Structure 1
Amino acid sequence: MRIGISACLLGERVRFNGGHKASRLCLETLARHFELVPLCPEMAIGLGTPREAIRLVGDPAAPRAVASRDASRDFSEPLRAYGEKVADELHDLCGFVLMQKSPSCGLQRVKLYRDDGRPVDGGSTGIFAAALQARRPELPLEEEGRLHDPVLRENFLNRVFVYARWQRLLADGLSRRALLDFHARHKYLLMATSPQQQHALGRLLADAGRQDPAELGPRYFRQLMAALGLRASRGTHSNVLQHLSGYLKRALSREEKHELQRLIDQYRGGVVPLVAPLTLLRHHFRRHPDQYVARQDYLQPYPDELSLRNQL
């Protein structure tokens, strides 16, 4: 799978001061599992290195990127156009890791200044990042700094894998049956982030037989990715674990049920990580297979080697 990334995070010396922001997380972890596609918007629009820094000014909803010492040098439109170009041409990207605080790449709380030079509370979004997000709203985007939070890292990479599965579905051909099957596979992933949206998306697909998949599919996927962007909690994960354990109630002994419930309760209370009850559940389902549960991506939504659930 291919993930776009701000080039400075891979150690490329493309920053305004001729430096880089090499990320061990990206270079040592993500690079083992993904093809990282480096891009630098500022270099791409013809700005060399070293160069005068740029900053955001004006309206938080529509900021401009200008030279820090000469506000008449406005780079907003080239950066916006490049974001749209990347969105349109690199259609095989399944996600994008962006450099935080950057006036071109930052996703949130990028420093923004009024015309009189005073900072604006809350900041704004970098011009390139905003254009990419507007053009590809379903594409998982995250700042490198936030990926050091285990919950946010798991959330982002979970969405990357869901996005990749959707792209494979589209390549195979979107049908009503395929759409319903895709939703069924992701039922418990959705339940962990937003039980309300899980039910809402189920209602959306309730009359799929009377709707054109070409129209329904994109609408469904937009709502799905927005729901998966919400943070799962120990409470919602515990709810999913309880639902899944229900499929084993006739297969397990009293002692096995007690052990599983104890682990779920310990997870809910913060004593053990999510991987502990999940590992036991997967063990029981290998011994007592269930056709419906076997189709659920929740039990293994991505390679175990990523260790994403070891710290949740």
Structure 2
Amino acid sequence: MAIVTLPEPEKQITLGISSCLLGHKVRYNGGHKRSSFCVNTLDNFFHFEPVCPEMAIGLGTPREPIRLVGELAATSQISGQSSSSAPDKQLEVRVVGTEDASLDVTDALTQYGHQMSSQLAHIGGYILMQKSPSCGMERVKVYHENGHPLGESAPGAYARAFMEKNPLLPVEEEGRLHDPILCENFFTRVYAYDCWQKTVLAAPSYAALADFHATHKYMIMAHYPQGYELLGQVVAKGSKVSLEALLGEYLLSFMSALKRRANRKSHTNAMMHILGYVKKSVDGKERNQLLKLIEEYRQEMVPLIAPMSMLRCFIESHGNEYIQRQTYLNPHPDQLGLRNRI
């Protein structure tokens, strides 16, 4: 039997990544946090742009560890609020040395985050090191000045600054990529964001926006069932709104929709809608087999790839150009195996 060799995936997208995840010895103790998933799997699909903000601001390695230190400060009360109401609390955080509190690198990390937001304008996503006071995307532990846990968490200083400048860029922590649903969601956003950059932004026009929206209909539906109609209303504004403003409004709503996690109910809904385009062209026995697979998927008996593979065969053979162009059918390379696990 002849062995079929799949073609090597093309590395068309660059991802920012915390250097330690690639095995670079840049951590405070001279070590690393090498991620086998990033190095052994993702490296086959993406170019990496490694960044270590702590090294970049001159801390060196090995070095004194740093941590988030903060206090909850009372904010001013809203006008008209009862004086008996408890004031809101705002978390004020600095990044300081664990041994020498005079080592304060908050401003340096923040400035570097702003700097890199411009230098990494070409990336399609960012994978950060979790729990890091510089790179953590969220839930980094905050301490009192005396070293006791505050009971609060915050993003790392570099990550916060970078994300504030790039609010629509897909960003995820390496640890969370071990969750199949979060992982598939992240890479769906990465490839969709890249598609936007290479199609709409490469040659901006009202027509390009309408075409992008049309080809992403069922991807939007799977993540946010009401989103397609809402985004359609944005597209319908057309030349009544400046192109720049329209593209900005659409991308914000689009990336927000995709950030919602698709679930078995919403995936089932999207697949049933797509099946409607070919149900009269497909043999009844085969159609029933697909319906059975979709139901088994809904009941958590099989992964998404099972009904999706059969549905794609039907669309390829019987679907019209509109439905064949739906990015939902192939949101990311099959070799990544993301739909095998959800």
Q: Which amino acid aligns with 2:17?
A: I
User: Which 10-residue stretch deviates more, 88-97 or 170-179?
Assistant: 170-179
Q: CA deviation at 1:116?
A: 4.0
User: Which 10-residue stretch deviates more, 278-287 or 39-48?
Assistant: 278-287
Q: Residue 32 of structure 1 aligns with which residue?
A: 44
Q: Residue 312 of structure 2 aligns with which residue?
A: 282
Q: Residue 219 of structure 2 aligns with which residue?
A: 189
Corresponding residue to 1:91 among 104, 111, 121: 121
Distance in structure 2 (CA, Å) of the matches to 1:9 and 1:53: 18
Q: Answer yes or no: is 1:45 the counterpart of 2:57.
A: yes
Is there any run of 5+ residues in structure 1 with no aligned partner, and where? none
Q: Which amino acid aligns with 1:280?
A: M
Q: CA deviation at 1:86?
A: 0.8
Q: Residue 269 of structure 2 aligns with which residue?
A: 239
Distance in structure 2 (CA, Å) of the matches to 1:148 and 1:139: 20
Distance in structure 2 (CA, Å) of the matches to 1:46 and 1:7: 15
Distance in structure 1 (CA, Å) of the matches to 2:311 and 2:239: 35
Deviations 1:132-163 (A, max 9, x none): 11000011100000001111111111111111
Q: CA deviation at 1:196?
A: 2.2
Q: CA deviation at 1:61?
A: 4.3
Distance in structure 2 (CA, Å) of the matches to 1:11 and 1:178: 41
Distance in structure 2 (CA, Å) of the matches to 1:61 and 1:174: 41
What are the within-5 Å matches in structure 2 for residues 96-245 of structure 1? 96-245=126-275
**Maintained 8 Å contact 2:200/2:208:** no
**Maintained 8 Å contact 2:189/2:259:** yes
TM-score, normalised via structure 2 length: 0.89
User: Which 10-residue stretch deviates more, 162-171 or 132-141?
Assistant: 162-171
Give identity over the alignment, percent.
46
Distance in structure 2 (CA, Å) of the matches to 1:55 and 1:70: 11
DSSP-derived class of the 1:123 partner: strand
Max radius of gyration: which structure? 2
Q: Which amino acid aligns with 1:91?
A: A
Distance in structure 2 (CA, Å) of the matches to 1:65 and 1:77: 9
Is there any run of 5+ residues in structure 2 with no aligned partner, and where? 1-12, 72-89
Corresponding residue to 2:23 among 11, 21, 26: 11
Q: Residue 9 of structure 2 aligns with which residue?
A: none
Q: Which amino acid aligns with 1:18?
A: G
User: Which 10-residue stretch deviates more, 210-219 or 103-112?
Assistant: 210-219
Q: Residue 257 of structure 1 aligns with which residue?
A: 287
Distance in structure 1 (CA, Å) of the matches to 2:234 and 2:92: 33
Q: CA deviation at 1:253?
A: 2.2
Structure 2 vs 1, CA of residues 61 and 92 (structure 1 numbering), >3 Å: closer, same or farther?
Answer: farther
Residue correspondences, number = 312
Q: CA deviation at 1:257?
A: 1.8
Q: CA deviation at 1:183?
A: 1.1
Deviations 1:106-155 (A, max 9, x none): 01110101234332334110001101110000111000000011111111
**Maintained 8 Å contact 2:16/2:50:** yes
Distance in structure 2 (CA, Å) of the matches to 1:243 and 1:170: 26
Q: Which amino acid aligns with 2:172?
A: E
Q: CA deviation at 1:301?
A: 1.2
Q: CA deviation at 1:195?
A: 1.1
Q: Which amino acid aligns with 2:240?
A: R
Corresponding residue to 1:23 among 29, 35, 39: 35
Q: CA deviation at 1:305?
A: 0.8
CA RMSD in angstroms, aligned pairs only: 1.3
Distance in structure 1 (CA, Å) of the matches to 2:147 and 2:61: 25
